[in-house]
Amino acid sequence: MKANLDCIPCFLNQSLEAARMATDDEELHERVMKEVMAHLQNVSFSRSPPEISMGVHDIIRKITGSDDPYRKVKDKSNEMAKKLYPGMKEMVRNAEEPLLMAIKLSIVGNVIDFGTANRFNVEEMIEKAAEKELGGEYEEFKNALATSKSILYIADNAGEVFFDKLLMEKLAEMGKEIIYAVRANPIINDATKKDAEFAGIDEFAKIIAGDEGQEKSSPGMLLLNASPDFMEYFENSDMVISKGQGNYESLSDVGRSIVFLLMVKCPLVAKDIGIEVGTPVLKVKK
């Protein structure tokens, strides 16, 4: 998915937010904003939003001297999700169709996102999860899952990893072999190995950094930055599950079948998929 002029206000809002998380120095905030604005004047909008965002956040880190401005936010998200996890696991256990409930809750976890302007109440979304309809694509997902042994699961955000864990538990019970791909380096509130291990994902899946070896990560899995290990799993796994908007923006035009799970928080993503902002999505790309 290509970037759009409407992405510019989001990049600027995100830059100021990140700068303020990194430091209280208002002079540095001003420097960040001026350098980001200068940088955006020269970017090509034929690139995806995550690819552009990678350069924006590199500027923020260099000026503020913080390699992980969102670390406190990520830790808070992880702790919040850890407390919610037992109740959600009970919801899955008691559901008429546990796999469907696990998918719905995994999508709900995608609302924990500091890379977008729209923010949602997580606990409220959990309560409403059972009422959400995912349409006929759930049947397509089940059919594809029935013939899949190996699954590459591409992670999105910290905190959200606990919601992913609910789905991976069900997949593991079905005998699936799971690879869980996170970011190699801090970028916004995206999950790294530290976050995945904190959630206990390694009980059900092998954790890899999808962009291992890169000095910078993007808030979406860019195949041009992917490690050889990731590409092997991406090309050869029976199923690829992609979580979140950033991964959708990065992978929606890739020529292989992918299952996208996300909460739509951006009008441009909503337009691309053909639905409204605030809609949970299970999309099977063939």
* Euclidean distance between CA atoms 216 and 213, whole angstroms: 9
Q: Mean pLDDT for the chain?
A: 93
In sequence order, what are the residues at sequence separation of 6 or more whose Cβ sits closer than 8 angstroms to the Cβ of residue 124? none
Q: Which two tokens stand for residue 97?
A: 């169709």
Model-wide pTM > 0.85: yes
**Which fold, 71-285?**
Rossmann fold (3.40.50)
Q: At what angle do helices 7-22 and 26-40 cross, to 10 degrees?
A: 150
For residue 279, pLDDT over 90 is answered with no
pLDDT band at residue 56 using 50, 70 and 90 as cut-offs: very high
Phi/psi at 75 (5° precision): -60, -40
Report, as an integer, the average pLDDT of 76-88: 94
**Separation of alpha carbons 88 and 41, rounded Å:** 45
Integer Cα distance of 109 and 151 in angstroms: 20
Neighbours of 157 (CB within 10 A): 32
The predicted-structure confidence for 61-75, as pLDDT tens digits, reads as follows 999 999 999 999 999
pLDDT at 117: 44
User: Domain spans of the chain?
Assistant: 7-64, 71-285
Please work out, in degrees rounded to the nearest 5, the angle formed at the alpha carbon of residue 258 by the alpha carbons of 252 and 260. 70
> Do residues 60 and 17 touch, judged by C-beta distance below 8 A?
no
| 7-64: in CATH 1.10.3470 | no
CB atoms within 10 A of CB 223: 13
Residue range 109-147, pLDDT digits in tens: 998 765 444 455 777 778 777 677 776 699 999 999 999
pLDDT of residue 91: 94
Average pLDDT over residues 141-167: 97
User: Would you say the CATH fold of 71-285 matches that of 7-64?
Assistant: no
What is the rounded distance in angstroms from the CA atom of residue 188 to the CA atom of residue 18? 8
Worst-scoring range by mean pLDDT, 185-194, 230-239, 274-283? 274-283
Looking at mean pLDDT, say which of 222-226, 267-271, 272-276 comes out highest.
222-226
- The 10s digit of each residue's pLDDT in 169-227 is 999 999 999 999 999 999 999 999 999 999 999 999 999 999 999 999 999 999 999 99
Q: Confidence band (pLDDT; 50, 70, 90) for 163?
A: very high
Report the candidate in 113, 137, 148 with the shortest Cα–Cα distance to residue 220.
Answer: 113
In whole angstroms, how far apart are CA 142 and each of 43, 138, 148, 279? Answer: 41, 6, 10, 21
pLDDT value for 120: 57
Task: Please give the average per-residue pLDDT across 252-281, as a whole number.
Answer: 92
pLDDT higher for 135 or 24? 24
